[in-house]
């Protein structure tokens, strides 16, 4: 497995001509190619959903996040399309539109699943119109970085635990991998966009990023509190039939994050926020035990 450090070393060891300047035309081509060249053309309508035994179906229906997941994908698709529509650069516009298409497709996969297994959800959710595409995209991007980091770990647990049939887990593999691609695209879009702003506009953009990040953290804290007091991850883990040690779970999220990002061009920037926060939390948790 290629770790984050080894990824950096690989980039550092490259000949100067192969290195990428943040904000350059080459950066734009690489970040757009990341999405456009790795598109997976699967079709939700023809997914062969496996038959489930009654207990497995009940476990699936009992997972606490289907409504939130449908709403999140609907919002993400609408907001990413809004930024695509507001973007003049044809290549970036095309990549953003593909990202939006993939979010709408995630919602379609979930929609087929809830219908096939007869899972009760609160109806078709429609996203509100987007007033500020730039701000909406920043919020969505940070939200995805946050959610998918933990989803990578939970997905690995679902796979390891045998709590669901492997055929069902495998249906969601391309969905989860697409979120890894989206995170990588997002952090590179942010860096590219910032580098191409006039110096005088950069502090405002940095403040907007910080505000979007803070808004998403506050939002997740509220969701966690509403779900079970203060620990949504433990709820997710116990819903998957796994007793979670927080430190080991964070280690699994980190390893999965690195594994999922490893195949993509080493010149692209890697997400640092969630891996950094997870490493810090693991150190604190490790220290608290001694």
| Sole binder of Fe ion in the list 182, 186, 192, 212 (CB under 5 A) | 182
Cβ closest to Fe ion, residue 4 vs residue 73? 73
Burial class of 88 by CB neighbour count within 10 A (0 to 12, 13 to 18, 19+): exposed
Is 179 or 258 the residue whose CB approaches Fe ion more closely? 179
Instruction: Write the CB contacts of 250 (distance below 8 Å, at least 6 apart in sequence).
Output: 153, 278, 281, 282, 285
Count the Cβ atoms, other than its own, within 10 Å of residue 167: 12
For the bound state, the minimum distance from the C-beta of residue 243 to Fe ion, rounded and expressed in Å, comes to 28
Task: Name the residue with the smallest CB distance to Fe ion.
Answer: 182
The token pair that represents 179 in the structure block: 């979120």
Range 81-120, binding Fe ion (CB under 5 A): 103, 106
Nearer to Fe ion (CB atom), residue 4 or residue 144: 144
Six-digit token pair at 263?
Answer: 């195949």
Q: Residue 56: enclosing H or E segment and its boundaries?
A: helix 54-62
Residues 39-78, mask of contacts with Fe ion (x by CB under 5 A): ----------------------------------x-----
Pairwise CA distance, residues 19 & 272, whole Å: 19
The piece of 144-152, 186-194, 202-210, 260-268 that touches Fe ion (CB under 5 A) is: 144-152
Of 144 and 256, CB closest to Fe ion = 144
* 36 CB-side CA count, 13 A: 14
Q: How far is the CB of 144 from Fe ion (least distance, A)?
A: 5
Calpha distance 258→129 (Å, rounded): 35
Closer by beta carbon to Fe ion, 93 or else 104 = 104
Interface positions with Fe ion (CB under 5 A): 73, 103, 106, 144, 179, 182
């Amino acid at each position: 497995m290629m770790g984050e450090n080894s990824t950096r070393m690989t980039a550092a060891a490259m000949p100067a001509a192969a290195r990428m300047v943040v904000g350059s035309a080459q950066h734009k081509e690489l970040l757009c190619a990341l999405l456009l060249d790795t598109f997976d053309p699967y079709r939700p309508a023809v997914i062969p959903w496996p038959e489930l035994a009654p207990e497995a179906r009940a476990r699936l229906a009992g997972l606490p996040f289907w409504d939130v997941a449908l709403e999140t994908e609907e919002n993400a698709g609408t907001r990413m399309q809004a930024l695509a529509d507001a973007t003049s650069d044809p290549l970036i516009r095309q990549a953003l539109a593909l990202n939006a298409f993939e979010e709408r497709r995630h919602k379609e996969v979930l929609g087929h699943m809830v219908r096939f297994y007869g899972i009760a959800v609160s109806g078709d959710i429609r996203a509100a119109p987007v007033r500020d595409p730039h701000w909406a995209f920043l919020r969505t991007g940070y939200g995805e970085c946050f959610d998918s980091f933990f989803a990578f770990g939970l997905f690995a647990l679902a796979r390891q635990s045998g709590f669901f049939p492997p055929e069902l887990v495998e249906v969601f593999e391309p969905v989860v991998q697409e979120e890894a691609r989206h995170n990588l695209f997002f952090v590179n879009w942010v860096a590219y966009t910032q580098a191409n702003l006039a110096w005088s506009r950069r502090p405002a953009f940095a403040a907007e990023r910080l505000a979007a990040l803070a808004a998403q953290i506050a939002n997740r804290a509220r969701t966690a509190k509403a779900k079970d007091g203060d620990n949504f991850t433990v709820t997710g883990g116990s819903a998957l039939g796994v007793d979670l040690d927080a430190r080991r779970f964070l280690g699994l999220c980190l390893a999965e994050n690195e594994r999922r990002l490893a195949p993509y061009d080493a010149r692209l920037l890697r997400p640092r926020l969630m891996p950094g926060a997870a490493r810090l939390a693991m150190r604190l948790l490790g220290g608290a035990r001694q």
